[in-house]
């Protein structure tokens, strides 16, 4: 079984920064991708950023230039550095791990609240 533990969420003022962390543990033989999703109240869960096995990355247009995703393969960890936060970034952020074509795992979610 695989477990994902997230940390780093909280409340900040607009323009502030947060760094989210996600550490995976358990029986992990390989990692195809690690990613961050978010879901605001009443809205669909959306992909925020992803980093793939070849170290390529992708970002939602709304966060480009402000967020940076990175990973530490030795620790099975993924991070999301969030700068210049806006109220629209307020959401529950979820870590996702893909280990094979049909194997995906989710973290429990961490709340990020940005106030003005």
Is residue 67 packed enough to be buried (19+ CB in 10 Å), middle (13-18) or exposed (0-12)?
A: buried
Tens-place pLDDT, residues 59-91: 999 999 999 999 998 899 999 999 999 999 999
What is the average pLDDT across 43-71?
97
Q: Look up residue 59 and give its DSSP letter.
A: E
Burial 12-48, CB ≥16 within 10 A → b, else e? beeeeebebbbbbeeeeeebebbbbbbeeeeeeeeeb
Q: Look up residue 27 and give its DSSP letter.
A: S
Residue 78: what pLDDT?
97
Residue 39: what pLDDT?
98
CB 39 within 8 A of CB 47: no
Task: Give one DSSP letter per residue of 72-112, joined into a string.
Answer: EGGGTEEEEEE-S--GGG-EEEEEEEEEETTEEEE---EEE
Residue 29: what pLDDT?
85
SS3 3: strand
DSSP strand pairing (57-59 vs 91-100): unpaired
- Band of the pLDDT at 27, cuts 50, 70, 90? confident
Residue 1: what pLDDT?
84
More confident: 29 or 72: 72
Residue 75: what pLDDT?
92
- Average pLDDT over all residues of the chain: 96
């Amino acid at each position: 079984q695989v477990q994902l533990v997230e940390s780093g969420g909280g409340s900040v003022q607009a323009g502030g920064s947060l760094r989210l962390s996600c550490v995976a543990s358990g029986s992990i033989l390989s990692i195809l991708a690690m990613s961050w999703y978010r879901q605001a109240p009443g809205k669909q869960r959306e992909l925020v950023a992803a980093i793939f096995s070849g170290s390529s990355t992708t970002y939602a247009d709304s966060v480009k230039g402000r967020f940076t995703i990175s990973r530490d393969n030795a620790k099975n960890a993924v991070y999301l550095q969030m700068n210049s936060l806006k109220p629209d970034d307020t959401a529950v952020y979820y870590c996702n791990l893909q280990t094979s074509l049909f194997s995906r795992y989710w973290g429990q979610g961490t709340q990020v609240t940005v106030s003005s």
